[in-house]
């Protein structure tokens, strides 16, 4: 009968906030995700592709730009995928091309994630004019077809890998904004967010520690899916001559270069096409598996 009635609301609020964003829930969700075979198998495939690609300086048997006097050789024990029309080893170029395609995609999606997540958080938490300006700008970007918008921006900025990274980031920022905006609206009035306000947490701390951890699942899913689409955009731009420029190899310009000589060595077309397809399939499967494991509405 003393000070307990006064301090109890604060204590309950603090406990509620910790329950809302506690590490136990996150750890449990990750355990569920890792037990999902779609997540574990696709993650293993992606790690293998990344290790082989970024380990190209060690694994590649030849330099990707070394010219020989033996163009368009078929696969052999010396050149496992043969040589291209300039006599360069196709396997070495495939491995180094993975560095470009994966590196550009990862960098662009990281930029899109950071900017898109915080714009979505701000729009969903504060609402008002900020929400109107941010969401209408995102709607404007989403109104253009992805590849058309990417081609237009690259043409305006100039052809370079740095500009390709910027272009893909711009194209995919709206997707993160919309995902995080919707998730923030769903949790902004939750008990643990209200509890954080009761114990005196500022807006920045609430966004970082109460809301962001509880919208992390859709962010992870969107990141995985966006990486797959980013690879598709990068390879598409390189295929059109707007991405990596020869002699720098990328999966897209390897496919483009192989079109005219695929009858003489079909592996010049098959290998990079298979690398693109397997990587995108693994990323999409990973995204679907994460969604099923982390979304409580999809669990029985």
Residue 151 has a pLDDT of 92
Whether 257 shows a pLDDT value over 80: the answer reads yes
Confidence of residue 18 (pLDDT cuts 50, 70, 90): very low
On whether the CB atoms of residues 251 and 272 are closer than 8 A, the answer is yes
Q: Tell me which residue has tokens 């807006």.
A: 203
Q: Where are the alpha helices (DSSP H) in the chain?
A: 4-21, 23-35, 37-54, 56-59, 90-126, 128-142, 146-157, 161-187, 191-198, 203-205, 216-239, 251-258, 267-294
Mean pLDDT, all residues of the chain: 86
Tell me which CATH homologous superfamily contains domain 44-55+84-298.
MetI-like (1.10.3720.10)
59 pLDDT tier (thresholds 50, 70, 90)? very high
The DSSP element (H or E) to which 273 belongs, if any, is helix 267-294
Confidence of residue 28 (pLDDT cuts 50, 70, 90): low
The 10s digit of each residue's pLDDT in 152-183 is 999 899 999 999 999 999 999 999 999 999 99
């Amino acid at each position: 009968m003393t000070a307990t009635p006064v301090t109890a609301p604060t204590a309950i609020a603090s406990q509620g906030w910790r329950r809302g964003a506690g590490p136990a829930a996150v750890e449990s969700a990750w355990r569920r995700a890792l037990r999902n075979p779609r997540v574990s198998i696709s993650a293993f495939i992606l790690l293998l592709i990344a290790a082989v690609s970024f380990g190209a300086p060690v694994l590649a048997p030849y330099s990707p730009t070394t010219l020989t006097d033996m163009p368009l050789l078929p696969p052999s024990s010396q050149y496992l995928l043969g040589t291209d029309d300039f006599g360069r080893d196709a396997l070495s170029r495939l491995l180094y091309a993975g560095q470009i395609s994966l590196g550009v995609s990862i960098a662009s999606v990281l930029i899109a994630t950071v900017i898109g997540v915080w714009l979505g958080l701000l729009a969903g938490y504060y609402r008002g004019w900020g929400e109107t300006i941010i969401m209408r700008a995102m709607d404007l970007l989403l109104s253009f077809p992805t590849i058309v918008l990417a081609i237009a921006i690259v043409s305006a900025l100039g052809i370079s890998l740095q500009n390709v990274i910027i272009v893909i980031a711009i194209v995919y920022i709206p997707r993160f904004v919309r995902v995080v905006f919707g998730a923030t609206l769903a949790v902004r009035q939750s008990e643990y967010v209200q509890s954080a306000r009761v114990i005196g947490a500022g807006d920045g701390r609430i966004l970082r520690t109460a809301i962001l951890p509880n919208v992390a699942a859709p962010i992870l899913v969107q990141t995985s899916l966006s990486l797959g689409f980013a690879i598709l955009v990068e390879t598409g731009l390189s295929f059109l001559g707007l991405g990596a420029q020869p002699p720098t190899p990328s999966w897209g310009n390897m496919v483009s270069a192989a079109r005219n000589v695929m009858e003489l060595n079909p592996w010049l077309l098959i290998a990079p096409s298979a690398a693109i397809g397997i990587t995108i399939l693994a990323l999409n499967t990973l995204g679907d598996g994460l969604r099923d494991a982390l979304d409580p509405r999809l669990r029985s």
